[in-house]
Structures are given as C-alpha cells and as structure tokens.
Structure 1
Amino acid sequence: MANDIPSTLALLIDGDNASPKIIAGLLAEIANYGTASVKRVYGDWTKPNLNGWKECLIEHSLQPVQQFSYTSGKNATDGAMIIDAMDLLYTGRFSGFCVVSSDSDFARLAARIREQGVTVYGFGERKTPRPFITACDKFVYFDVLKAPGEEVLATAAAQDEAKAKATKNARDNSLLSMLRNAVVAVSDETGWANLGAVGSHVAKQSPDFDSRNYGFARLSDLVEATAKFELDRSGKAQKGILVRLRPN
C-alpha cells in the first residue's frame, strides 16, 4: 500500500543558526516522519564559529555546503539554502522538507514548498518568529529534542517540581480552549473523537503545538492531565485512543 512507503525527506540546516548539539535529537525526531536522503549543513566553513560541526558531520553523514559571506551584514547562507531547496523541490523526489533555523527569512520558502503540496517540518529555538512557524506544517523547538537513550537525571525534588509545573501547564486556558474546540470539531454523533485526529486538528491551526512543550511525552498524558476530558484507551473498533468532553 502507498501509505506503507516511507516519506523521503530533504534536511537543510542553517549551520550559522543551529548548534551541533541538537543533531542526535533532531535526527531521531525526523525519523518519525520519514527518511532524510539529503542531509546538508550550510555555512561559511572558513570561520571558527562552525568548528564544532566537524565531528558531527562525520558521525551523522551530513554534507557541509560552503557559502562565503561576501558582504558584511548579509546572510548568504540563507540564500544558498533557499536556492538548493527550490532545486530539490523541482526534482519531485521529496515528500517533505526539514528546515532547521530560527530565522524568519525562511517563512516564504516554507510557504512556497507547501504550495507545491509538499510537507514542511520546521525546527528552531523558542525565539523563532511566528511567520516562519506558521508557514510550516509542523514546527518543533530545539529544547524538546532528545537523542535516543538520553535521560534527564534529576533529584526527586526536581522531578516533583517538573511534574507540578506540567500539571499547571495542562490547565492553561488557551490550551484547554484549543483542545475543547478540536474535540468538538472532529467528534462523532456520540461525542467521542479520535485523539490522533484531535492532535492533527490543533496542529493545523498551531504548527508548534506539541505535548512536550507542556511537559508531557504524549498527547494522551497531556489531555488526561487537564481533567477536562474522558479517555477511552480500549481501542474499540481499532480506533485507537478516544476522547470526549467530560460532562459538567
């Protein structure tokens, strides 16, 4: 079946705008969406600020792309990434693009790729401007990326504090409103909705929506923590997890 064919992705990284420390977690995240057959890192490799990338390039088979900074104050790296992205887009080989940068200059690129019916996954820092975030189908913040096997070692007190913070986040009014509207929008006549469909509905309006932003590994855990919804995990009729508004 066509749905069983893994997505072929192009990974384009703004080396001037991202740290090599996030690569392991980034690649693990991208593996959830498909296979990155193109993995390029752009920057002026003659400058010392990219020295930290060398070992990372070899370990993860990333291709460095040299782009000299011809004029002070102008980001030539962005231009090189945009040109390459369009060249790759027109090959018709890719079902998705992963653009790694916190720069708003890529907002129009993301929008143009989506106009072609191709999915765009954005990755960046919390300071990333909204125009770039909203131009993507999905946007993931660097700080939620975790490499395989990576564990956060914390004291019992720190764990309790993190849990309390996550619980507080789950009661955020804007979050509750988004989830409530999504459940109503995709529910059937009985009021039950597929949790995956709920998440997809929210993401269409807010590409950076991610349960990890609120301190929860899974959407089901976040929804449950709100105490505003009922969950059915029985998998009835192979529908997966179902959710509905809790009666008042």
Structure 2
Amino acid sequence: MTTPRSTTKNDTEESGLKLAVLIDADNAQAAVIEGLLAEIARFGEATVKRIYGDFTAPTSASWKKVLQRYAIKPVQQFAYSTGKNATDSTLIIDAMDLLYTRKFDGFCLVTSDSDFTGLAMRVREEGLTVLGFGEQKTPAAFRNACHKFIFTEVLRPTPRDEVETPVEKPARARKISNTTPSPQPAKLATPSFPKKFVLAALEQSHDDAGWANIAMFGSYLTKLQPDFDSRLYGFKKLSDLVKAKTDLFVTEERPMAGSNQKVLYLRAR
C-alpha cells in the first residue's frame, strides 16, 4: 500500500500526491471552488474530481455554473426519502471503490458534515493522506480525523476580486424578478491566537539549542491540530506569522546546504 506522505508545506516544498477530490454539494459552496482547487494543487494533482448532490434542486444552481469550467464530474443523486441523505452514502461508496484501486496517495473530502468522520479514519488506516475542507462550523471530530483540515473561509476571493459595478435594473424588472439569490459564502470568524498551543508545538520541535526549522515546526502544529492555519490569524504563510510575532519568537535565516536558498529557524523569546 502507498506509504503516507507528509502534508505539511513550507515556503519551498513541492508535493506530487495523486489525489481524489470528492465534494459534498449539500455541504459545500461553489463560491470557493477556485481557491479550493488552487489549495489542493499545493499538495498534488487532482486526478479525480467528483461532486455529489441533487443537481435538479434549486440549491445546486450555483454548482452547475462551475462544473464544466473546472472539469468536475457531477454524480447525480436523488433523495429517495425525506430526512435520509443518499448523497452521503453514494460519496462513501465511491470513495471506497477508489480506495481499492490503489491508484491514489490521498483523498480530499470537501464537506462540513461530521458524517464523513468514519470515512476519513478508514482512509487513514490504509496509509493514505486525508485532506479535509469545510467551513468553521465543521465538527471537531471530522477535522481531527484528517491529516490536515483547511477552512474554506480562508479560500474565498478577496473583496477586491468580488467587487463589481452594480447595474441598476428598471423598476418593473426588479418587481417581476423571482430569481432566488445564490447563497453567500460564510464569512471568516477570526479566533483568538492559541499562544500556549503554538509554544507547546515549538517545545516539541526544537533542537538542543532551542532552535526549530520552520518546516519541522509546521509539521508539529499540523500533527497536534490538523485545522491550524496561519491564514486564520491574518497571515498568508506560517513564516509570515512567525516573523510578525516578535513578542513570542526570535527568527534567523540560515543558508541551506548545497543551495542558494535560506531556511527560517525560530526559537521562543
């Protein structure tokens, strides 16, 4: 079986995981698809891209607009009865079929539904990488079942990208319009900075002199808390966060052996 690979990224690391991307249309929003696929590309190649839902329903209208553009295969699933989620069952069955092909290094599960916790754990048991993507409302059980969990709120287009010049419709057109507005992506709620947790991770990752390589530090952060993300605190990269927190860290850039590049090291102040 494929040996699990590290999902921690630093500023210079490249990854070549072959990934199966499975999207729960009932619990994900189309507005973040561009940022989502760009984020997945950081970890590897999206060899399979499938989305599951009832695309005859009005709530799936936003997804139908982007499926062809991003080459995502829709898997239509009608609701057999009220209160039963047939979409979940179909996605899980497909995931197990793909798992046993032995063609993938990992799975990207795009959902905010804790019902996929068991699937994430099962994939991990096979030694594959599990990347989760969902909103901040996603239950901790599913987030912690993944090797790395990324909040989709940080993948939203920036306000600058979303600005469009409004076009005033004639009064009559506004009156007769019955178009249901598309759901808006959830806004990011900035959590308080977990100072104690971050310093504990540094304690586990530093050498005898107290210094830690940024990649090793990032690896420990992810292992201890899969949903840790510097973007939640306003920093694009972990290195940017570390450099900004001068009250917590002392940083130093050291030459990389056999290369012109430099590696960031840090220690507690």
TM-score normalised by the shorter chain: which range applies? 0.7 to 0.9
The one-letter code sitting in structure 1 at the alignment partner of 2:228 is F
The one-letter code sitting in structure 1 at the alignment partner of 2:252 is D
Alignment counterpart, residue 248 of structure 2, candidates 228, 239, 244:
228
In the alignment, the residues of structure 2 paired with residue 5 and residue 186 of structure 1 have an alpha-carbon distance, to the nearest angstrom, of 22
What is residue 191 of structure 1 aligned with on the other side? 210
Moved over 6 A (4+): 2-5
> Cα deviation per residue 1:181-202 (whole Å; 9 max; x = unaligned)?
2222121121111011111101
Larger Rg: 2
> Cα deviation per residue 1:62-114 (whole Å; 9 max; x = unaligned)?
00001110010011101100000011011111101000000000001000000
What is residue 178 of structure 2 aligned with on the other side? none
The one-letter code sitting in structure 1 at the alignment partner of 2:208 is E
In the alignment, the residues of structure 1 paired with residue 89 and residue 199 of structure 2 have an alpha-carbon distance, to the nearest angstrom, of 41
The one-letter code sitting in structure 2 at the alignment partner of 1:185 is Q
Alignment counterpart, residue 90 of structure 2, candidates 65, 76, 80:
80
Contact 2:15 / 2:43 at 8 angstroms: preserved in 1? no
Q: Structure 1's 45 and 151: CA in aligned 2 closer, same or farther, altered over 3 A?
A: closer
What is residue 157 of structure 1 aligned with on the other side? none
SS at match of 1:58: coil
State TM-score, norm by structure 2: 0.79
Matched, 1:15 2:35: no
> Cα deviation per residue 1:30-55 (whole Å; 9 max; x = unaligned)?
00000001000100122121122122
What is residue 10 of structure 2 aligned with on the other side? none
State TM-score, norm by structure 1: 0.85
SS at match of 2:34: helix
Alignment RMSD (CA, Å): 2.4
Matched, 1:210 2:229: yes
In the alignment, the residues of structure 2 paired with residue 105 and residue 118 of structure 1 have an alpha-carbon distance, to the nearest angstrom, of 19
Larger relative CO (CA 8 A, sep 6+): 1 or 2? 2
Alignment counterpart, residue 113 of structure 2, candidates 103, 111, 115:
103
What is residue 180 of structure 2 aligned with on the other side? none
In the alignment, the residues of structure 1 paired with residue 201 and residue 136 of structure 2 have an alpha-carbon distance, to the nearest angstrom, of 24
Shift of 1:233: 2.0
Corresponding residue pairs, total: 228
SS at match of 1:36: strand
Listed as ranges, the gaps of 5+ residues in structure 1 are 154-164
Shift of 1:224: 2.6
What is residue 31 of structure 1 aligned with on the other side? 41
The one-letter code sitting in structure 1 at the alignment partner of 2:94 is D
The one-letter code sitting in structure 1 at the alignment partner of 2:236 is A
Alignment of structure 1 residues 148-163 onto 2, 5 Å: 152=160
In the alignment, the residues of structure 1 paired with residue 217 and residue 237 of structure 2 have an alpha-carbon distance, to the nearest angstrom, of 13
Contact 2:123 / 2:130 at 8 angstroms: preserved in 1? yes
Alignment of structure 1 residues 164-175 onto 2, 5 Å: 169=192, 172=193, 175=194
Q: Which has the larger helix fraction?
A: 1
Shift of 1:234: 3.3
SS at match of 2:199: helix
The one-letter code sitting in structure 2 at the alignment partner of 1:179 is V
Listed as ranges, the gaps of 5+ residues in structure 2 are 6-13, 162-188
SS at match of 1:61: coil
